[in-house]
Structure 1
Amino acid sequence: MGPSHFSLLLILAGCWEALGAEHYSNSPVCNTTLSNGSFPWTHYRLPTSVVPEHYYIYIHPDLNTKTVTGYVQILIEALNDTSYIVLNGKNLTITGAFLKELSPNYQRKRLALHVLESVPTEQLAFISEIPLVAGRKYQLSVRFCATLSNSFSGVYRASYWTKNGISRMIAATHFEPTSARKAFPCFDEPNMKAVFSVVIVRDYNRKAISNMPKVSTRTRGDGLLEDHFCHSVRMSSYLVAFVVNDFSSNSTKSKTGTEVSIFAPRDQINQTRYALQAAVKILEFFEEYFQIPYPLPKIDLVAIPDFEAGAMENWGLITYRETSLLYDPHTSSPHSKLWVTLVTAHELAHQAKFENPYKSICSTLQKSYIV
Structure 2
Amino acid sequence: MRQKFDGRPLDIKNAVPTYFEYCIHSMETPDSACPLLHEFVIAPFALEECRRGGASSSEPARMRPFSDAVTASRTTTTTAVATTVVSSSEEHSPCCSARPLAIGVVAVSMSFALIYFLMIVPLTTTILPVTSSPPPLDTVSHTTVTLPSTASTTVIPEITTTEDPLYKYIDDKHHRLQIPLIHIPQLYEVKLKLFVPWNPSVNYGTDNFIVEGHVRVHFTSGGGSRVLLHSDSEQHVGECLVKDEFGREIFVKHVGRGFPQVLDLHLAADMIHGMNYTLDVAFRRHIRRESAAGLYVVATHLQISEARTVFPCIDVPEVKAQFDTIIIHPTGTTAIANMMDNSTVVEGGWTTTTFRRTPPMSTYLFALSVSDYPYLERYSSRGVRSRVYCDPSKLDSAQLLTDTISPVLDFYEDYFGIPYPLEKL
Q: Following superposition of structure 1 onto structure 2, how do residues 210-221 of structure 1 map, counting pairs within 5 Å?
A: 210-220=337-347
Q: Distance in 2 between matches of 1:85 and 1:258?
A: 40
Q: Do residues 160 (structure 1) and 302 (structure 2) align?
A: no
Structure 2 CA distance for partners of 1:67 and 1:38, relative to 1, 3 Å: farther
Structure 2 CA distance for partners of 1:275 and 1:119, relative to 1, 3 Å: farther
Q: 2:329 aligns with which of 196, 202, 223?
A: 202
Q: Following superposition of structure 1 onto structure 2, how do residues 6-21 of structure 1 map, counting pairs within 5 Å?
A: none
Q: Following superposition of structure 1 onto structure 2, how do residues 165-184 of structure 1 map, counting pairs within 5 Å?
A: 167-184=294-311
Structure 1, gaps ≥5 residues long: 1-19, 24-36, 151-157, 162-166, 300-371
TM, length-normalised to structure 2: 0.55
The match for 2:225 is: 83
Q: 1:67 aligns with which of 196, 210, 222?
A: 210
Q: 1:143 aligns with which of 274, 282, 307?
A: 282
Structure 2 CA distance for partners of 1:271 and 1:118, relative to 1, 3 Å: farther
Q: Following superposition of structure 1 onto structure 2, how do residues 15-30 of structure 1 map, counting pairs within 5 Å?
A: none
2:415 alignment partner, SS class: helix
The match for 1:101 is: 244
The match for 2:179 is: 46
The match for 2:58 is: none
**Which one-letter code corresponds to 1:116 in the other structure?**
G
Q: Do residues 241 (structure 1) and 373 (structure 2) align?
A: no
2:353 alignment partner, SS class: strand
Q: Distance in 2 between matches of 1:231 and 1:171?
A: 21
Q: Distance in 2 between matches of 1:95 and 1:228?
A: 24
Structure 2, gaps ≥5 residues long: 1-135, 140-161, 171-177, 198-207
1:234 alignment partner, SS class: coil
Q: Distance in 2 between matches of 1:198 and 1:53?
A: 14
Preserved CA contact (<8 Å) 2:307 2:315: yes
1:170, distance to aligned residue in structure 2 (A)? 1.6
Preserved CA contact (<8 Å) 1:53 1:76: yes
1:237, distance to aligned residue in structure 2 (A)? 0.4
Q: Distance in 2 between matches of 1:149 and 1:119?
A: 22
Residue-pair matches, total: 249
Q: Distance in 2 between matches of 1:224 and 1:110?
A: 34
Q: Distance in 1 between matches of 2:372 and 2:269?
A: 47
Q: Do residues 115 (structure 1) and 255 (structure 2) align?
A: yes
1:119, distance to aligned residue in structure 2 (A)? 3.8
1:219, distance to aligned residue in structure 2 (A)? 3.5
1:110, distance to aligned residue in structure 2 (A)? 5.7
**Which one-letter code corresponds to 2:361 in the other structure?**
M
Q: Following superposition of structure 1 onto structure 2, how do residues 337-352 of structure 1 map, counting pairs within 5 Å?
A: none
Q: 2:391 aligns with which of 259, 265, 271?
A: 265
1:256, distance to aligned residue in structure 2 (A)? 1.3
Q: C-alpha offsets along residues 157-199 of structure 1, whole Å, 9 cap, x if unaligned?
A: x4433xxxxx221211111111110110011111110000100
1:143, distance to aligned residue in structure 2 (A)? 0.2
1:278 alignment partner, SS class: helix
The match for 1:304 is: none
The match for 1:57 is: 190
Q: Distance in 2 between matches of 1:40 and 1:211?
A: 36
Q: C-alpha offsets along residues 105-133 of structure 1, whole Å, 9 cap, x if unaligned?
A: x352363352112444x211111111111
2:403 alignment partner, SS class: helix
Structure 2 CA distance for partners of 1:240 and 1:110, relative to 1, 3 Å: same
1:202 alignment partner, SS class: strand
Q: Distance in 2 between matches of 1:128 and 1:268?
A: 53
1:212 alignment partner, SS class: coil
The match for 1:250 is: 376
1:280 alignment partner, SS class: helix
The match for 2:414 is: 288
Structure 2 CA distance for partners of 1:189 and 1:56, relative to 1, 3 Å: same
1:41 alignment partner, SS class: helix
2:414 alignment partner, SS class: helix
1:178 alignment partner, SS class: coil
Q: Distance in 2 between matches of 1:60 and 1:21?
A: 40
Preserved CA contact (<8 Å) 1:41 1:86: no
Q: Do residues 297 (structure 1) and 423 (structure 2) align?
A: yes
Q: Distance in 1 between matches of 2:360 and 2:405?
A: 24
Identity of aligned residues (%): 25
Q: Distance in 1 between matches of 2:229 and 2:263?
A: 5
Q: Distance in 2 between matches of 1:159 and 1:47?
A: 38
Structure 2 CA distance for partners of 1:251 and 1:55, relative to 1, 3 Å: same
Q: Distance in 2 between matches of 1:38 and 1:223?
A: 49
1:22, distance to aligned residue in structure 2 (A)? 10
The match for 1:342 is: none
1:50, distance to aligned residue in structure 2 (A)? 0.3
Q: Distance in 1 between matches of 2:210 and 2:380?
A: 38
Preserved CA contact (<8 Å) 2:137 2:165: no
Preserved CA contact (<8 Å) 1:97 1:114: no
Q: Distance in 2 between matches of 1:62 and 1:107?
A: 33
Structure 2 CA distance for partners of 1:283 and 1:187, relative to 1, 3 Å: same
